[in-house]
């Protein structure tokens, strides 16, 4: 990945790159750093009261940086595993809720997906063990002991939480991959892990709220924060469910079922000739060919309506046509994810559909495809 993208398109402040993968820090992370610093400072003062309040905040901010490093290691583990399995990462973002890694393409097999997901929590577990071992072997005390202990505990919590079996957590990705492997259907895995993610979200909310309502000591800030996390989990799980349904529905999309009949007219055709050809062919549109017989544009009925009837035999049909975008010609047999990928790679308001012999058989409006895919899937 290069720096060719404009700064406005970057997902945050670029702080470096790992193996060519840009790493960005969103400004929202500074909110976390501030909260962690304020909450951790009293712990520092309890261990080394002689340092004073000012220095305790400086040390507490160091713990915030250690947490950032933990998130960084987590995301780099994802990126490394993805690269090793042939799905390179495009960038890493560290933000308010931790971080995420974006990839060029999704994993094309369940085991690859499982591996990429699993290494994240495992990396945090390794950091937790490493910090814990350092405490035991070095026999440190004071601030080093406090930071190492806090790092070990926080990474253990992150590892366990991320391993919970529900999307959008890494454990949910693992669950998705396992169901995908057993059922042979990725969408089934995504749906199952998505609904499991909603169960996890509800469980987190109950785990936080129920003891608090019973009067157990639990800070209001902690309750609010965890409820926000539960809300994000619910939202992420819902997005996964919607994506699975979209994929399932898109797999049913077919050019032949969604096209509107069209006729081809030569580059020399007039508006009157194009209109007559469409009526004779019982077609909803006329496609103007270029001098080489290739589709060049689609006659715009709104523009045709502005042509006076007495001039319809003089005005070229090409003058009231929308020029085709590059790649806006598709085969009638195109369907499913291949169709969606083709449209995403070549965005256009409409596509000319050609048959096996290369002749024009219809037009495909992207809005018709979008409406079809957007319909709620029965699964």
149 & 59 share domain:
yes
- In whole angstroms, what is the distance from residue 126 CA to residue 120 CA? 10
Q: According to the model, what pLDDT value does residue 162 have?
A: 94
In a domain, 176, yes or no: no
For the stretch 118-168, pLDDT in tens is 999 999 999 999 999 998 888 778 888 899 999 999 999 999 999 999 999
Q: According to the model, what pLDDT value does residue 377 have?
A: 52
- When pLDDT is cut at 50, 70 and 90, the band that residue 3 belongs to is very low
297 & 321 share domain:
yes
Q: What is the distance between the terminal CA atoms of the chain, rounded to a whole angstrom?
A: 38
Instruction: For residue 364, give both structure tokens.
Output: 């495909």
In a domain, 293, yes or no: yes
In a domain, 170, yes or no: no
* Residue that terminates a domain, selected from 163, 193, 208: 163
Rounded percentage of the chain residues whose pLDDT exceeds 90: 64
275 & 353 share domain:
yes
In a domain, 173, yes or no: no
Planar angle of CA 266, 271, 276, nearest 5 degrees: 80
Q: According to the model, what pLDDT value does residue 340 have?
A: 87
108 & 52 share domain:
yes
For the cut 70, the answer to whether the pLDDT of residue 307 exceeds it is: yes
Please give the mean pLDDT across all residues of the chain: 89
138 & 18 share domain:
yes
- Judged by average pLDDT, the poorest of 10-14, 185-189, 233-237 is 10-14
Q: According to the model, what pLDDT value does residue 359 have?
A: 93
3-class SS of residue 351: strand
Instruction: Tell which phi-psi region holds residue 265, choosing left (phi > 0), alpha (psi between -120 and 50) or beta.
Output: beta
For the stretch 31-53, pLDDT in tens is 889 988 988 888 888 888 888 88
Q: What is the mean pLDDT of residues 319-335?
A: 92
Instruction: Tell which phi-psi region holds residue 139, choosing left (phi > 0), alpha (psi between -120 and 50) or beta.
Output: left
In a domain, 295, yes or no: yes
Q: According to the model, what pLDDT value does residue 7 have?
A: 40
In a domain, 168, yes or no: no
Planar angle of CA 152, 154, 158, nearest 5 degrees: 115
- When pLDDT is cut at 50, 70 and 90, the band that residue 6 belongs to is very low
Per the structure, the complete domain to which residue 345 belongs is given by 255-374
243 & 269 share domain:
no
* Residue that terminates a domain, selected from 130, 163, 196: 163
Say if residue 172 is exposed, middle or buried (CB neighbours under 10 Å; 0-12, 13-18, 19+).
Answer: buried
90 & 155 share domain:
yes
245 & 287 share domain:
no
Residue of 197, 199, 177 whose CA lies nearest to 188: 177
Q: According to the model, what pLDDT value does residue 371 have?
A: 87
Number of domains in the chain: 3
232 & 259 share domain:
no
In a domain, 288, yes or no: yes
For the stretch 49-101, pLDDT in tens is 888 888 999 999 999 999 999 999 999 999 999 999 988 999 999 987 788 99
Q: According to the model, what pLDDT value does residue 47 have?
A: 86
Q: According to the model, what pLDDT value does residue 266 have?
A: 95
Q: According to the model, what pLDDT value does residue 48 have?
A: 84
Query: Positive or negative, the Cα torsion across 68, 69, 70, 73?
Result: positive
Residue of 306, 318, 325 whose CA lies nearest to 274: 318
For the stretch 337-356, pLDDT in tens is 889 888 888 999 999 999 98
Q: In angstroms, what CA-CA distances link 117 with 68, 104, 177? A: 19, 16, 9
Q: According to the model, what pLDDT value does residue 138 have?
A: 83
104 & 241 share domain:
no
CATH of residue 291: 3.10.580.10
Q: According to the model, what pLDDT value does residue 1 have?
A: 32
Q: According to the model, what pLDDT value does residue 112 have?
A: 93
Q: What is the mean pLDDT of residues 312-332?
A: 93
């Amino acid at each position: 990945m290069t720096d060719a993208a404009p700064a406005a398109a970057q997902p945050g402040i670029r702080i470096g790159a790992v193996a060519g993968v840009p790493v960005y820090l969103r400004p929202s992370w500074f909110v976390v750093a501030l909260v962690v610093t304020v909450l951790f400072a009293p712990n520092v003062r309890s261990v080394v009261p002689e340092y004073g309040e000012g220095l305790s905040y400086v040390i507490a901010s160091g713990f915030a940086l250690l947490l950032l490093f933990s998130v960084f290691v987590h995301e780099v583990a994802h990126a490394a595993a993805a690269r090793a399995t042939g799905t390179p990462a495009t960038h890493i973002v560290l933000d308010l809720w931790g971080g995420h890694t974006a990839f060029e393409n999704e994993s094309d097999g369940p085991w690859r997906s499982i591996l990429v997901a699993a290494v994240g929590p495992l990396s945090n577990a390794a950091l937790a063990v490493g910090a814990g071992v350092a405490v035991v072997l070095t026999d440190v005390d004071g601030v080093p002991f406090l930071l190492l202990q806090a790092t070990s505990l926080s990474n253990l919590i992150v590892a366990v939480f991320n391993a919970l079996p529900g999307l959008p957590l890494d454990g949910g990705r693992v669950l998705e991959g396992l169901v995908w492997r057993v059922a042979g259907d990725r969408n089934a895995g995504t749906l199952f892990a998505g609904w499991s993610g909603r169960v996890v979200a509800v469980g987190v909310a109950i785990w936080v709220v129920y003891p608090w309502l019973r009067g157990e000591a639990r800070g209001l800030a902690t309750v609010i924060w965890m409820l926000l996390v539960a809300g994000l989990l619910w939202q992420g799980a819902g997005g996964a469910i919607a994506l699975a349904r979209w994929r399932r529905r898109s797999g049913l999309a077919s050019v032949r079922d969604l096209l509107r009949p069209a006729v081809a007219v030569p580059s020399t055709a007039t508006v009157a000739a194009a209109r007559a050809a469409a009526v004779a062919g019982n077609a909803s549109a006329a496609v103007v060919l270029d001098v080489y017989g290739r589709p060049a544009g689609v006659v715009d009925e709104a523009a045709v309506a502005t042509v006076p009837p007495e001039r319809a035999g003089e005005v070229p049909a090409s003058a009231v046509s929308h020029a085709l975008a590059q790649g806006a010609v598709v085969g009638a047999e195109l369907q499913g994810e291949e169709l969606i990928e083709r449209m995403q790679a070549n965005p256009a308001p409409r596509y000319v559909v050609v048959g096996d012999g290369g002749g024009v058989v219809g037009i495909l409006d992207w809005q018709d495809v979008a409406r079809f895919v957007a319909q709620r899937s029965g699964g």
